[in-house]
């Protein structure tokens, strides 16, 4: 039994996956009479490629991995949910995650009836790997790390993360949704070395495609094969597959957006740091800034009256008094700064 197989739920190991018509025949045919589709209304009448090979080959080339190491999901949220469905036996296994972090890890754990163990970050939002490892036991199937982390905006220390990636015997998930805005390289380069590592990325942030819903998971082919076995057969629709192929040809535009947003981020940080209202602007490697103010609820409500919506993180662990502000375009950031300057609560 491989080290990955020993982590997988028994029912998933023995699962006979759904075999769709398009799995069985590859190539060009003159008449497609196998899938009970309507023969009219081409091309939308046809089911899409269930494994999205054209898109994956392009993504794999860009990311420097093998196409078989790529999973595409309906947002990264699908790839997060599959961690539980593939590896975690409900009411028996558990996962460990840093706290605070992206809320969907816990929601997915709760939906799948899997215990979710939280390990607080240090007061400066840094990671203490040993405390995370200590929270794990023989039923811990996965550890979730998010870097840059949401909502704290900081990168986790790479050496600390490595202690987990290297030392933990289960699956380590590193969520890199915000990696394009960060000063550090991705963990994708480490995949060959660590067969139990899953790296998550998304088209929702730097690529500007949140409405399209496409998330990526990168891992060993063994893990991706398990993901493919469990996912819904046609989980990525034809329109998304086609649109993303076009978008991938415009990587220059994405790079320009990132550099523009990084400039705006710096401008926001500089201006916010000078404001009396603002007690602290935390370091950020993402496309948002976490800001501490005296009365986050009041400032949040005031901004709503000005038609400006930020995220109130006041009730989140270690984020008392904090607002999470996404970097907008220049006009939006100007509106925010002007409103905050005029605030006299």
Ligand X SMILES: Cc1ncc(COP(=O)(O)O)c(C=O)c1O
Give the gyration radius of the chain's Cα atoms: 22
| Residues 278-337 within binding reach of ligand X (CB under 6 A) | none
Task: Name the minimum Å distance from CB 155 to ligand X.
Answer: 12
Binding residue count for ligand X, defined by CB under 6 A: 12
Task: Name the minimum Å distance from CB 108 to ligand X.
Answer: 11
| Residues 119-158 within binding reach of ligand X (CB under 6 A) | 146, 150
Q: Name which of 4 and 155 has its Cβ closer to ligand X.
A: 155
Element spanning 24, H or E = helix 21-24
Task: Name the minimum Å distance from CB 206 to ligand X.
Answer: 12
| Residues 54-93 within binding reach of ligand X (CB under 6 A) | 75-77
Task: Name the minimum Å distance from CB 39 to ligand X.
Answer: 35
Give yes or no for a contact between 171 and 191, defined as CB atoms under 8 angstroms apart: no
Q: Name which of 168 and 181 has its Cβ closer to ligand X.
A: 181
Q: Name which of 8 and 327 has its Cβ closer to ligand X.
A: 327
The three state secondary structure string of the chain is CCCCHHHCCHHHHCCCCCCCHHHHCCCCCCCCCCCCCCCCCCCCCCCCCCCCHHHHHHHHHHHCCCHHHEEEECCHHHHHHHHHHHHCCCCCCEEEEEECCCCHHHHHHHHCCCEEEEEECCCCCCCCHHHHHHHCCCCEEEEEEECCCCCCCCCCCHHHHHHHHHHCCCEEEEECCCHHHCCCCCCHHHCCCCCCEEEEEECCCCCCCCCCCCEEEECCHHHHHHHHHHCCCCCCCHHHHHHHHHHHCCHHHHHHHHHHHHHHHHHHHHHHHHCCCEEEECCCCCCEEEEEECCHHHHHHHHHHCCCCCEECCCCCCCCCEEEEECCCHHHHHHHHHHHHHCCC
Q: Name which of 209 and 337 has its Cβ closer to ligand X.
A: 209
Task: Name the minimum Å distance from CB 54 to ligand X.
Answer: 20
Q: Name which of 74 and 333 has its Cβ closer to ligand X.
A: 74
Task: Name the minimum Å distance from CB 146 to ligand X.
Answer: 5
Q: Name which of 8 and 116 has its Cβ closer to ligand X.
A: 116
CA angle, 66 then 161 then 143, to 5° = 80
Q: Name which of 168 and 178 has its Cβ closer to ligand X.
A: 178
Is residue 102 a contact residue for ligand X (CB under 6 A)?
A: yes
Task: Name the minimum Å distance from CB 318 to ligand X.
Answer: 16
- The DSSP call for residue 67 is G
Q: Name which of 8 and 86 has its Cβ closer to ligand X.
A: 86
Task: Name the minimum Å distance from CB 239 to ligand X.
Answer: 17
The residue number whose beta carbon is nearest to ligand X equals 75
Site string for ligand X, 174-203 (x = CB under 6 A): -x-x------------------------x-
The footprint of ligand X (CB under 6 A) covers 75-77, 102, 146, 150, 175, 177, 202, 204, 210, 215
């Amino acid at each position: 039994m491989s080290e990955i197989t020993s982590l997988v739920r028994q029912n998933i190991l023995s699962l006979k996956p759904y075999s769709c018509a398009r799995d069985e025949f590859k190539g060009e045919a003159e008449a497609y009479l196998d899938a009970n589709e309507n023969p009219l209304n081409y091309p939308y009448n046809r089911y899409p490629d269930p494994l999205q090979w054209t898109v994956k080959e392009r993504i794999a080339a860009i990311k420097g991995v093998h196409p078989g190491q790529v999973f595409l999901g309906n947002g990264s949220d699908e790839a997060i949910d599959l961690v539980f469905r593939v590896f975690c036996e409900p009411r028996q296994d558990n996962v460990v995650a840093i706290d605070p972090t992206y809320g969907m890890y816990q929601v997915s754990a709760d939906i799948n009836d899997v215990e979710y163990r939280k390990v607080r970050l240090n007061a400066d939002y840094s990671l203490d790997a040993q405390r995370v490892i200590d929270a794990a036991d023989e039923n811990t199937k996965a550890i979730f790390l998010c870097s840059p982390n949401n909502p704290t905006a900081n990168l986790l220390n790479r050496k600390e993360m490595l202690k987990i990636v290297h030392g933990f015997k289960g699956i380590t998930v590193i969520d890199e949704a915000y990696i394009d805005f960060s000063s550090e390289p991705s963990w994708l380069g480490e995949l060959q070395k660590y067969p139990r590592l899953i790296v998550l990325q998304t088209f929702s942030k730097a690529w500007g495609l949140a409405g399209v819903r496409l998330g990526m998971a990168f891992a060993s082919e063994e893990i991706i094969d398990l993901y493919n076995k469990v996912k819904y057969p046609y989980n990525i629709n034809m329109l998304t597959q086609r649109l993303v192929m076009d978008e991938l040809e415009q990587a220059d535009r994405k790079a320009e957006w990132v550099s523009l947003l990084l400039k705006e981020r710096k401008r926001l940080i500089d201006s916010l740091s000078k404001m009396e209202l603002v007690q602290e602007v935390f370091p950020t490697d993402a496309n948002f800034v976490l800001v501490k103010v005296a009365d986050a609820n009041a400032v949040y409500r005031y901004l709503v009256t000005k038609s400006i919506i930020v995220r109130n993180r006041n009730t989140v662990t270690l984020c008392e008094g904090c607002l999470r502000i996404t970097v907008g375009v220049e006009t939006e950031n100007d509106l925010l700064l002007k409103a905050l300057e005029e605030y006299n609560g």
